Chains A and B, each alone.
Chain A
Amino acid sequence: MDAKNIVLSMNHITKRFLGTVALKDVSVELYEGEILSIVGENGAGKSTLMKILSGIYPGSEYEGSIYVDGKKAVFSCPADSENAGIAMIYQELNLELDLTVTENILLGRLPVNKFGSIDWRKARGMAQEVLQQLHVQIDIDVTARSLSPSMQQLVCIARALIRNPRILILDEPTSVLTERETEELLTILDGLRMKGIPCIYISHKLDEVFRISNRIVVLRDGAYIRSFRREDGFDAEKIIEDMIGRRLVAMYPTIHKEIGPEIMRVEHFRVPHSFAPGKSIIEDVSFSLRKGEVLGLVGLVGSGRSELLNAMFGAVPKTAGTLYLDGQIAAINNPRDAKRSGLGLITEDRKKNGLVSAMSVKHNMTLTILQQIKRGLFLDFKKEDELSGRYFDALSIKAPGMDVQVASLSGGNQQKVILAKWLCTNLRVILMDEPTRGIDVGTKAEIYKLILELAAQGISIIMVSSEMPELLGVCDRFVVLSKGRVYKEFLRGEVGEVELIRAASNT
């Protein structure tokens, strides 16, 4: 580890979006023969930095400069970045699933013979060669669809390598890989590093980061915080502290409530992976929930938190597992069953599956109780007005009226409408997936208060959130998921933010 050449340097990069600064004067260098990890929480600026490097944000849209091998580089489109020798490997495997491995690897640069048609012999040879470099055995004539996710990942890497890149950038490459496959990938990256292809590695999984990196750069709120060198040893505690910073403690309301006996129990849940066929994102998870309790499900992105919630609610199928309510088996195979059993679900993406945008506030609120508010054959409009009006007031939804389109409300008020939709039912347990995502600070505090008030009324809550402080602020108990299992459980007060993140990332 002596004096090394700088392969890539990003100098004083500042990137502004309308009104906000995503990156503030960030300078990062990548040296010859190293693997550099960039870590930070959601919104720290990692992906903005990568989008600048890959040319998605053209050179005219940010301040600062980029040098590759000492030469100034200005990218106006992704092709420029590729030509400068930067190869990106994204989290989503962007393969053409119905093309063969050879075609995928050589996509856009298939060799042609003198008649202008594709020279397949040469193409297959090239594909074979690059896969050998990676020491992997993949049949180059099968379609990408028939490969396992980890094999597909390797094809992506092969595709990057065939372009003779100077630098390899990987964004969350292990999200679909098993532990052993991850291990293999890390070995391959280390091999490439020694062959002279340095690498920038981005991952939430700190254990991987610690194992593979020569250097770690921490970003927070768009600013460079510190870098750590392997020679000095990686101190997990310190790195996590740098990631989260000394945050202002938000005001979380305290409401006196009593936690009752067990109301629900989840046993041996196994849930299939949504885009990696044959794999389970949740392997074997069991936990219990008490009456009036707010339970936080903690885990990294991709740990299967959302999938678990959706499977409990019957919104996605599970491969195994039983759900008990009041000690009785509750057969929940679809959302209708769940609703009947007294469950509610606030989904992660309001627009996608939470709201019917073209409908009014009122009609969205009563979607769950159409059968309950009818008299004879017809809907009882008076009863509908009464019920929705009650929750409209109780949740103090800010809207010009209940008949305006729900799409015209702010994110926080839309979330309240979804909450109201479940409060109308005979709700006993509500599952909340990122309930404060995209909601302004003021409304967030209101939502926290609502959550605690519900719990005080005896409704149990399971909450998933990527924001640790918010979990720490409202939850009574934490179940930490990792590698598809329950890794640890904590009670309120016996754990801080750093310990929670460490537990979630297995370090």
Chain B
Amino acid sequence: MIREKHMPSLKKAGGKFLQRQESSIIIVTLLYVVFVSCVNPVFISSSNLFNILKNTGYSLITVVGMSLVLITGGLDLSVGSVLALGGIITGLACKAGLPVWLAILLAILTGVIVGLVNGLVIVKAGIPPLIVTLGTQYICRGLVSVITQGVPIYPLPDSLKAIDKIRVAGIPMVVIFAFLMVAIGYFLLGRTPFGRSIYALGGNEEAARISGINIHRTRVLVYVITSVLAVLSGVFITSRLGSAEAAAGSGFEMTVICGAVIGGVSSFGGVGSILGAAIGAFFMEVLTNSLTLMRVSVYWQNVVVGIVLILAVMLDQYKRRVMVKKSIKAVK
């Protein structure tokens, strides 16, 4: 106690910062940014940074949902296909002459249905999320191919294309929307009974159940939220491209899961924060952007992303082991 009092306040603040869940990802991101800037100064040009921020927005929307799923101890591999399905439905509905808001609403409804299927099958049939969402990933991707026959839906009305072009005080709409989702996710997770149930479910499902928490409802809801957010990512991407593509969002689940896990969301459930995940999503974008700048081929980029995911999970596992050791020490 006495020693603490004499500690310089700066050091104390630093210690507090290090204790935060998000500290490691922030440090890693900063170090990496400095490194890349030294190698290729173009990286920190304002136009490039702006690009990174905007690109982060598209995945960040879904990262919020994926974080919830991961914290419950689940996994959702279907987000990439759901993104494509959302885009296609929006595009088709717009082309058919429906107003944009109604088109988006239809797409959201599709997302709700996919999320319900994911959640209910996992809960009622007791099948692991990995398998269920792998199945719905194929189903959705298949439906997209059936609907489009592989031909992009094009041209899209200007009203849909306009969404991506809107800027408020120079900030693109997708970034604003993503930040809004992060804020909602932050409050949902940290401040509501639902958020607390998500942590409890991932931390110890049986204890949560015995405590009278509706674990089934909680589990289904996080999948619904994630699918809806994936659809919204799809709407923004479709708007940007100006066409709804059947191949949109392939590999998207990897980007999203990586972002969340790098940001400190535990793949074992029970631990994680939305802020960490958001920074993780940003890091993923920094990574791919910088690799491109350093002329690393797209093929090699996949190798790097895979390695980063595994390293992040290893770090998570290491952290857990330290935590267990600490608590054993404390008991002794």
Contacts and interface: CB of A to CB of B under 8 A. Distances in A.
Interface of A: 313, 315, 334-336, 338-340, 345, 347, 352-359, 363, 366-368, 370-371, 373-374, 377-379, 381, 405, 407-411, 421
Contact of A352 (B206, B330, B331): B206
Contacts of A373: 193
Give the interface SS of chain B, mostly helix, strand, loop or mixed. Answer: helix
Contacts of B214: 336
Contacts of A363: 196, 199-200
Nearest to A336: B212
Contacts of B210: 313, 315, 335, 345, 347, 353-354
Interface in B269-325: 270-271, 323-324
Contact of B331 (A335, A347, A353, A409): A409
Contact of B207 (A338, A355, A366, A374): A355
Contact of B209 (A335, A359, A377): A335
A356 B327 contact: no
19 contacts: A315-B209, A315-B210, A336-B213, A345-B210, A353-B209, A354-B210, A355-B204, A357-B204, A357-B327, A358-B203, A359-B200, A367-B196, A367-B207, A367-B208, A368-B211, A378-B191, A405-B327, A408-B330, A408-B331
Contact of B191 (A358, A359, A379): A379
Contacts of B207: 353-356, 367
B326 A377 contact: no
A446 B203 CA distance: 29
Contacts of A334: 209
Contacts of B203: 356-359
Contact of B192 (A339, A378, A409): A378
A378 B270 CA distance: 20
B188 to A, nearest CB: 9
Give the interface SS of chain A, mostly helix, strand, loop or mixed. Answer: mixed
Contacts, number: 88
Contacts of B270: 356, 358
B322 to A, nearest CB: 13
A377 B331 contact: no
B327 A370 contact: no
A332 to B, nearest CB: 11
A169 B330 CA distance: 40
Interface of B: 187, 191-193, 196-197, 199-200, 203-204, 206-214, 270-271, 323-324, 326-327, 330-331
B206 A421 contact: no
B206 A374 contact: no
A410 to B, nearest CB: 6
B211 to A, nearest CB: 4
A367 B191 contact: no
Given A405-B327, A408-B327, A356 B192 contact: no
A363 B204 CA distance: 13
A358 B73 CA distance: 13
Nearest to A355: B207
The 6 closest A-B pairs by CB, nearest first: A370-B193, A353-B206, A339-B212, A408-B330, A356-B203, A407-B327
A358 B326 CA distance: 12
A214 B251 CA distance: 71
A120 B271 CA distance: 52
B124 to A, nearest CB: 15
A379 B196 contact: yes
B211 A335 contact: yes
Q: Which of B199, B200, B208, B210 counts the most A-chain CB atoms under 10 A from its CB?
A: B210
Contacts of A355: 204, 207
Given A315-B209, A335-B211, A356 B204 contact: yes
Contacts of A357: 203-204, 327
B199 A338 contact: no
Contact of A356 (B208, B323, B326, B330): B208
B196 A370 contact: yes
Contacts of A315: 209-210
A409 B330 CA distance: 7
A377 B192 contact: yes
B193 A359 contact: no
Contacts of B211: 335, 339, 367-368, 421
A356 B209 contact: no
B200 A379 contact: no
Q: Which of B192, B204, B206 counts the most A-chain CB atoms under 10 A from its CB?
A: B204
Given A338-B212, A353-B204, A379 B327 contact: no
Contacts of B271: 358
Q: Which of B203, B206, B212 counts the most A-chain CB atoms under 10 A from its CB?
A: B212
A378 B212 contact: no
Contacts of A366: 196
Q: Which of A336, A363, A370, A377 counts the most B-chain CB atoms under 10 A from its CB?
A: A370
B212 A335 contact: yes
A354 B207 CA distance: 5
Nearest to A374: B193
Contacts of B204: 353, 355-357
B202 to A, nearest CB: 8
B216 to A, nearest CB: 10
Contact of B200 (A347, A367, A410): A367
A24 to B, nearest CB: 25
Contacts of B331: 408-411
Given A353-B204, A359-B200, A407-B327, 6 more contacts: A347-B210, A353-B207, A367-B207, A378-B192, A381-B191, A407-B324
Given A367-B200, A370-B197, A379 B192 contact: yes
A363 B208 CA distance: 12
A418 to B, nearest CB: 9
B207 to A, nearest CB: 5
Nearest to A337: B212
Contacts of A409: 330-331
A409 B327 CA distance: 8
B290 to A, nearest CB: 34
Nearest to A352: B206
A368 B210 CA distance: 9
Contact of A359 (B199, B323, B330): B199
Contacts of A370: 193, 196-197, 213
Contacts of B323: 358, 405, 407
A366 B210 CA distance: 13
B22 to A, nearest CB: 16
A407 B330 CA distance: 9
Contacts of A408: 326-327, 330-331
Nearest to A315: B210
Contact of A368 (B187, B212, B324): B212
A357 B331 CA distance: 13
A358 B200 CA distance: 9
Nearest to A340: B212
Contacts of A339: 211-212
Nearest to A399: B330
Contacts of B206: 352-353
A373 B331 CA distance: 31
Nearest to A345: B210
A394 to B, nearest CB: 20
Nearest to A347: B210
